[in-house]
Structures are given as structure tokens and as C-alpha cells.
Structure 1
Amino acid sequence: MNLYFEHIYTVRERFDEALAAQGFDSVLIFAGQPAVAFLDDNAYPFRVNPFFKYWVPVTDSPKSFIFYEPGKEPQLFLFQARDFWHAQPVVPPGDWQEHVEVIPIDSKHIVGERVAKEFGKTAFIGESFDALADWRIAAVNPEGLLHHLHYQRAKKTPYEVECMRKANVLAARGHLAAEAAFRNNQSELDIHHAYIQAMRVRETQLPYNSIVGLNEHGAILHYDHYETEAPSTQRSFLIDAGAYYNGYCADITRTYSKEPQGFFAELIEAMDQAERDIIDEIEVGRSYYDLHVATHHKIAKILHEFGFFKVDANTIYERGYSNAFFPHGLGHFIGLQVHDVGGYLKNPQGESYARDSRHPFLRLRREIEPGHVFTIEPGLYVVDQLLEAFDGNEDFNWQRIAELRPYGGIRIEDSVHVTKNGVENLTRTAFDSLK
């Protein structure tokens, strides 16, 4: 069966269920439109509504709409401006067009005229725009409908997984080019340029700002400054960078040591093995929260074995010390969005898991199911702001911590696809395909 046909059939079923449960007869999904900077006439880079690209692989056609009424073919109102200033967005070819009715428009008002009689029982999903208030839509971004759809989206269709496989190959190609630039003593900015050049994309076509950190910059979790000059001494390199394919995301992190042997290289190897080991522990029915806690224990063991503490691994975790070195969550759902939705939902009705004060930044708490795709990204960093609370604590080996500080930190991140028969590592498979 054609993967897209199977996908859109599933999407229609999910919307049929969600609309019926929430009392709507139809849905109108707006792709969005570029926002203009304050006191300017230049727009910010456009980001399409994830629910729009859930239906069709069209990511660069702002002011377009999808209208769907259960039992009928979805309609794509494809905006094509009468504009001699700009090139028209390129609509990707493919048999996806056989499964939707494509209706070219040059004004949003055409949509209102074509389906206005349906608006009394229509849910709207998307950002607002000037004419929306006049359309008298039944509900705008109704919370109950969004909860229902977000919960469903956690299970990826084979089409979605295939898109993420291809996104990972693109990103892996960029990562290999970035590593080569690091080995060639390039600056952070030049490494970033090598990354996007290898993928043949513009910076605005990345799913998020790439993290390209040399030396101590690897300890800044969302570092995206990019020094233009290479440091006099390059010790380490952390890159967290992704890619899109048909609107689906890859999110990969790797850390490298300039020296092939020694303290930091061995620490990277230990973290890489811990990441592989926690992936081996993934199983259907297990709580992702338990997986996160198990990772903390693995990192506590590494902290003990590498001499960062004078106490054992259990004490390191129980006293909360590991949080200072691994402050973020183990990972998150990934798909249409890098940090995909529904990670805390217990059911389609919107009941949610409680936040945990010990692990407040964890983005995913659900039980693992076949069809889930999420990241696994343990980290170990020297973040002085987090260490301030333990200043003078004699359980810490401060001299050893000082040795790590110039290297910043380590993060290893893969995306994994859970199946009934095991776990597919989308990221490692992508790297293997490029050897």
C-alpha cells in the first residue's frame, strides 16, 4: 500500500474520531502566514502550522487552508498570489495530490465564500488573521479537540517514520561535514556553514537553531551564538543540529574530542555507551519517566567512576547531585515538531501526568507504545550556575570538575522508533548508511 495513502487514511480516521468526540462537523486548518517585524516591511521566516503538514507535505505555502468534513475528500485551498515581486512557493510533486482536492486561490476570502455555510459547526486550527472574526467559526483552537489530536499524534504512521528516516540521513550528512570542519580547526560559524552546505539548505530551512559549541560553549545547553574566529586551542566540539524531510524532523547531537585518547575522549565513550545501554532497555509498557531515572543512575555511576565525586553512585543520585550535571530531560517525542506534542497526556480527554519537582524539565512521561518515536539524549556538563548551590560541598571533587570545565560538556542524541518487535535507531542507521 502507498505509504501516503495509508497515512492520510489514518489521519482522516483520527480527525473523524476527534471531531465526533468534541461535537464538530468539520475542521478548517490554516497553514499560517509570515509575521512582519515591528516598524518594518520584512517578514520573519515562515513556519507552517504542524497540523497543516500533517495532512499534506506542503511546508512553504502560507495563507493556504485545508478543509475536511468526515466522509468527504479533504480540500486543499492552495494559495497562489498574483504577485510579480516574489517567486511562487514550490509545491512538491507526488501522488499525495491524488488523495486531496487541490483548489488554487489568490485570496483567503475565497475560502470563506466556498465553505461559509459550514462554519457554524466547524473547528478552526491555526493562528488568527484579520478576516477570521467575520467568518463566525464555531470554535478557534478548541482545547478539547487539540488534546484529542495531540494524544493521537504520538503514534506515527509508516509514512511519518519513513520521512523521519530520510530526515536523519540528511542531518547525518551534515553532521559528518561539521565534524570534518572541526577536525580542520574551523570556527563555529564555519562549522555551521559546512553543516548546511552539506545538506544543501538555507539556515531558515532547519527545524531549529543549530547548537555548534567549541570547548566550554558545549556547557551552554541552547548555545547558538557562533564565534566567527576559531579559538587558539580546540579541545572539544558539541553539535546539536537537525533537518526536515516533508516537514518531519531529525534531531541529532554528537560530541567530539580533539584528542583521540585521554580523559575527555574516554568520558565521551562512557556517555555514548550509557546512551546505547538505555536504548537497549526500552520496552513497550515501560514508563519513559522510569527510563529517565535509570539514565540518571547511569550518569551518577560515570560521575563516580571518573572521580568527580568522593561518594558512591547511589549517593550521587539520592542527594540530587546528578541533576547539576544532567539538568535536562532524557528526551522528547519527535515528528512534525522537534519537541512534538502530547508527552504528558494520559488519554485523548486531556488528563495529564503531574510535573515532577525532581525532574522538572522532562518533556515526556507517557508509557512507551509501538509507533512512538522519541529522542534519547543523556548529557553531562559543567554548568557553574547549577554548581553554585553546592559550593564547598566536600562530596564533590572540585579539582576533577575543574579539569572538565574547559571542555564544556557532552550530549549524545539519537531518535528511536518503537515497534512491536523492538527498537529501530533511526539516527545510527542513518550514519551507517553513509559509510
Structure 2
Amino acid sequence: MSDSRIDALQLEHIEHLQAAYADILNQHGYDAILIGSGAAPMRYADDQAHHHHGYGHFLHWTGLAGTEHSWLLVDKDGGARLFLHTPVDFWHATASIPDAPWTQRIDVTGQPGPEAPDIDYPERLAVIGDPAQVSDVKGDLNPATLLSALDNLRVAKTPYEVACIDHANAIAAKGHEAAREAFLAGASEFEINLAYQRATGQREALAPYHSIIGLNDHAGILHYQYYDTRSPARPRSLLIDAGVRYRGYCSDITRTTAAPGENRFQALIGGLESLQKRLCEAVAPGVDYMELHRRCHQGIAALLKASELVHTLDDNAIVERGITRAFFPHGLGHFLGIQVHDVAGKPRPSPEDHPALRLTHCLKPGMVVTIEPGLYFIPSLLEPVLDGPDGQYLNRTLIDELKGCGGIRIEDNVLVTEAGARNLTRTHLPV
């Protein structure tokens, strides 16, 4: 999609927000809302700051990721004014007043200081954002019911938001392809990360989250956070979970690759990918995401049995005994949008038997979700099962053979449509 088309969709998106905020402010009895962009906190006992991505409700209007010390004022009629921090500073590059189509809908003013704009505010003012920035502003600070309404406004994405997430998928797909090629050429985790950044043209600090790039047993550490600079003597597997941010919106994609000759592990990847595709195809309006998660466990059980990792038990027993949770300990997925784990995902508590599930909605058109089943060989989870009464049903020899590959996760970003679903990832990264 061209930038001009995305720009046109952004104008429609802002018009949607203007009408929605007007309704919400009137329902909650406010004349206006002041939204702080937030700012990077300073590291303790240091003069360096952490990286700043931006406050979600500020980005929902502006898309200005990384913008600090700025303020957005929206009144009860939907009128919006952006006070952009434009200091005089010879140490750092500073923001300039944007010249973009969206400024037709939002009045933009520069101000040199980080404080809230010095203007006349209405008496009934809501102020939301990081308390470190907004606590000195006179108004109703972060009112819970108002914040809940604004979070719920972000559940269904506008066509502009979908276009941004789709574009973020297109860019990330190039990075995943480059990462796979680097792995097959013998690169280290650090070198694979560089290949991903080079292909996406995105600095690591600007990514929506720290890329997970694990070789061999590191692939079994769900949020593995390091990059080895040396390749393992025998590369066996790569798991890469990495995304891109575009106009404030995120992609979140995971792929797993087996090294040549790892036939048993490759067969497991093929089986999990078949399951993942079926789950993506099952996304549709009215589907209970918790039931989709349970369906995933049934699929994991079937795969464990077909691969001879578990024997004797039927699929239902494998699930009921908690064996699938030892191989697949996380939830099936989550909302995706301005935040990687986007807001308002749990109107109901996670089920007791699956406490890590981040999404408990019945699906509706406009939602964007991730579908990310996994199958891992994590010693701290498998050893209690192997040493317990259910150990008799597990193939310890095969587990020992495969645990050096770490694990598998395959993740796509899926839009719920009126008729079913649209996979925003496989359009750009079919494998």
C-alpha cells in the first residue's frame, strides 16, 4: 500500500478517534483530556536514559514513537491540539513541526519546555500518562474507568491501523528471510541479529521489543535475551522472534529453522506448522480464544504422539495429565497493535489450567491477534514429568536427542474480518 493511501487512511483514523473521544469524554463527565507522551527515565546513578517508545494512547493519535515531553489535548467535541517538545538544544537533534497530512486534523504547536502547556484548562480535565510526567498537572489523574474505556477503544483496529501492522509485517519479513539465510551460512546469534537489522533498516532500539534469536538449546528459553558472538560447533536450530515498528504499530513474528540433517527436528517443525496454519484458519468472529488455545493443546498432544515423544496415552489423556503444558507452557497468543501485547486483552481471567494465556476474548472483526503455538524441550519443565509417574509415557531417548535443538515456535499476526480472518504475516512470509 502506498504512503499516500496510508496517509488518507490516517485522516479517517483521526476522525474516528475524534468522534469516539467526544463520546467517551461526555459519558465520563470530562470537558477535555490531556495525554502526556511520556519520557525516557534516567538510569539510576547515571546520566544516561533508557530508550523511550511512547505512551500508547498518545501514539494512538500521533504515531510519533519515541517522542518525549509532549502533550496532546483533546476536548469534548473531539478537537485535538498537539504541543510538541521542540527545545533549543545543541547536544541532541530535536523534533520539528511535522508537515504531514494528519496535521490537517490535529493542530500542532512547538514548545521549548517539557512542562504541560501553559493554557487555560477546563475545570473538568482528565490527565493520563506516566505519573512521572503528569502528576504535577491539575486534573483527574489516570481515572481508572476512563482509561478502561480508552483501552477498549483500541481493541478493534481501524483500516489505518491494519495497514500499519501489515506494513510492519512486510518489513519484518525481509528481516526473517535474511536471518534464516545467515543461520544456514553459519552465522552466530549476534551476526544473525545484524542481518535482521540490516534487512529491516531498523535500529535495535527502535524495534517494538528485543529480538529473541536463539541457536540450539537457546531456542528453548522463551525470552532468551542474549546474542552469542560465536557460532556453536554444531549449529542445529534457529528460533527468531522479531518484529518491526511502523508509525507506532508493531509486528511480532516467529520462525524456527532446522539445520540440514536435523530430520527429526525438521519433522516436528513441519507438524507444528501444520497445526499453526489450522489455528490461523480457525480465527473468525465469535470464536472463543480460550477454546482456540485449548484446541492448540489437543493439536500438541496429537503431534507428541505422532512423533513418538509420548506413547500409550491417547490425546485427551496427554492434555488432562498436563503433559502438553510441559512442552507448551505459554499462551497461544495476544492482541497486537501499538503495543506488542496490546491492551484490554483479558475481559475474563485466564483459566486456572492455563494461567499464562494473555487473551480471553471472543473474537470480533477488527481485532488483530497473534497465533503462536510452540513445542519446547525445557529441562526444568520436563524433568519433573520424566521423574514422576507420567515419565513412563515419555520417550526419554528421543527427548535427549532433541533437547539440544531447544524448541519450536511459529507465530503469525492475524486480522479478524467479517467473514473470517486475514493472515497479515504469510502474505509477506509464506514459510
**After TM superposition, is the score higher than 0.5?**
yes
Aligned partner letter, 2:26:
A
Change (3 A) 1:271 1:92: farther
Q: Give the letter for the 1:236 counterpart.
A: S
SS at 2:429 equivalent? helix
| Matched ranges for 1:68-217 at <5 A | 68-89=74-95, 93-109=99-115, 111=117, 113-115=118-120, 117-118=121-122, 120-129=123-132, 132-137=134-139, 139-217=140-218
Partner residue in 2 for 1:422: 420
Counterparts of 1:91 and 1:425, CA distance in 2:
36
Deviation of the 1:296 alpha carbon:
0.5
Deviation track 1:141-194 (CA, whole Å, cap 9, x = no partner) reads 111111111122110000000000110011111111111110110100110011
| Residue in 2 that maps onto 1:48 | 54
Match of 1:348 in 2: none
- TM-score w.r.t. length of structure 1: 0.93
Q: Are the equivalent residues in 1 in contact too, given 2:236–2:262 (CA < 8 A)?
A: no
Task: Tell whether the 8 Å contact from 1:60 to 1:89 is kept in structure 2 after alignment.
Answer: no
Give the one of 362, 371, 382 matched to 2:366: 371
Sequence identity percentage: 39
Is the alpha carbon distance of 1:106 and 1:232 closer, same or farther for their aligned partners in structure 2, counting shifts above 3 Å?
same
Partner of 1:360: 355
For 1:279, the equivalent position in structure 2 comes to: 280
Q: What is the TM-score of this pair, normalised by structure 2?
A: 0.94
Does the C-alpha gap of structure 1 residues 92 and 423 become closer, same or farther in structure 2, counting only changes over 3 Å?
farther
The alpha-carbon deviation at position 215 of structure 1 amounts to 0.5
Q: Any conservation in 2 of the 1:239–1:253 contact (CA below 8 Å)? A: yes
Given the superposition, is the C-alpha separation of residues 190 and 94 from structure 1 closer, same or farther in structure 2, using an over 3 Å criterion?
A: same
Match of 2:398 in 1: 400
CA shift, 1:92, in A, is 5.8
C-alpha distance in structure 2 between counterparts of 1:390 and 1:294, whole Å = 22
Secondary structure of 2:427's counterpart equals: helix
Identify the match of residue 330 of structure 1 among 329, 332, 342.
332
Taking a change above 3 Å as real, the CA distance of residues 235 and 110 of structure 1, as seen in their structure-2 partners, is closer
Greater Cα shift, 19-28 or 410-419? 19-28
RMSD, aligned CA = 1.6
Contact 2:18 2:79 in 1 (8 A): no
Q: 1:135 Cα deviation (Å)?
A: 3.1
Question: How far does residue 108 in structure 1 lie from its aligned partner after superposition?
Answer: 3.5
Q: How many residues align?
A: 421
CA separation in 2, counterparts of 1:153 and 1:304? Answer: 40
Which of the residues 404, 409, 412 maps onto 1:411?
A: 409
SS at match of 1:303: helix
Instruction: Return the offset for 1:330.
Output: 0.3
> Larger deviation: 314-323 or 325-334?
314-323
Distance 1:294 1:220 in 2: 24
Determine the C-alpha separation between the residues in 2 that align with 1:42 and 1:298: 48
For the structure 1 residues 109 and 406, does the alpha-carbon distance in structure 2 shift closer, same or farther, using more than 3 Å as the test? closer
Deviates more, 1:395-404 or 1:213-222: 395-404
